Amino acid sequence: MAYPGLAFLGPEWIPILAATIAALVAAVTLAMNMTAGRRDRRRNLYSDAYRATMSWIETAYRAHHARPDEDAAFLEGYHKLWEDVRYYQGWILMESYELGYSFALFKEAVQTVCEGVIESAWASRTVESKPLGALPVEPSPETFRYEQDRFLQDARDQLSPNPFRRRAMRRRVQERITKEGPARVSGLPVNAASPRGPQPSALPGAR
């Protein structure tokens, strides 16, 4: 088959040109697959971090219904929660400073709401069963819905293949950082209130 536009090339160049095009296509395909794989890995990381943070709600219910003889089982799960959340907080911060900041604020908001309920419930355990009912730890405008929505939106933008959405997310979070105060290494704003400040915890072994 003749290619008029390549008439200036001798026949010996046709195999070289075909090999070059094939290599270019293979390189582009590899780059696209690597980008998709990196996006899938990040999606799994962000969803696992979200799941770990939201498990604070279930921990609050478990503390509410815990009996005095269930210390070991509850505390094992409670400490595992802290280990998981701290792991994901650090890992997301290494992946993206801006998303790490957004996640830290979301995690801090959930923690602030749930820890008070957990410690209060732990201090008032009884052998009698408690009635089933909703605790004030569910997502709502009065608890942590605002921080939750912001993190989910930031995560969606960070995972977008559109570079303009990713850039807009970084700019949006950087504006928050400027407004809310410089960020600590942990990703939290310097002036963030911590429910685990100087006050002692009612939970034994709590960190």
In a domain, 3, yes or no: no
In a domain, 30, yes or no: no
Domain that holds residue 107: 42-180
In a domain, 191, yes or no: no
Letter for the amino acid at 90?
G
Question: Quick one: which H or E segment has residue 122?
Answer: helix 97-123
Secondary structure of 133-198 in HEC code, one letter for each residue = CCCCCCCCCCCCHHHHHHHHHHHHHHHCCCHHHHHHHHHHHHHHHHHHCCECCCCCECCCCCCCCC
Q: How many CB atoms lie within 10 A of CB 114?
A: 27
Q: What is the pLDDT of residues 33-61, one digit of tens each?
A: 566 567 688 899 999 999 999 999 999 99
165/17: higher pLDDT: 165
Is the Cβ–Cβ distance between 80 and 56 less than 8 Å? no
Q: pTM of the full predicted structure?
A: 0.73
Query: What string of DSSP letters covers 39-60?
Result: HHHHHHHHHHHHHHHHHHHHHH
In a domain, 188, yes or no: no
| Gyration radius of the chain's alpha carbons | 25
CA angle in degrees (0–180, nearest 5) for 164-89-146: 65
Q: What is the pLDDT of residues 112-128, one digit of tens each?
A: 999 999 988 888 888 77
In a domain, 84, yes or no: yes
24/150: higher pLDDT: 150
Q: How many structural domains does the chain have? A: 1
Task: Return the residue matching tokens 């819905």.
Answer: 145
In a domain, 124, yes or no: yes
In a domain, 90, yes or no: yes
In a domain, 112, yes or no: yes
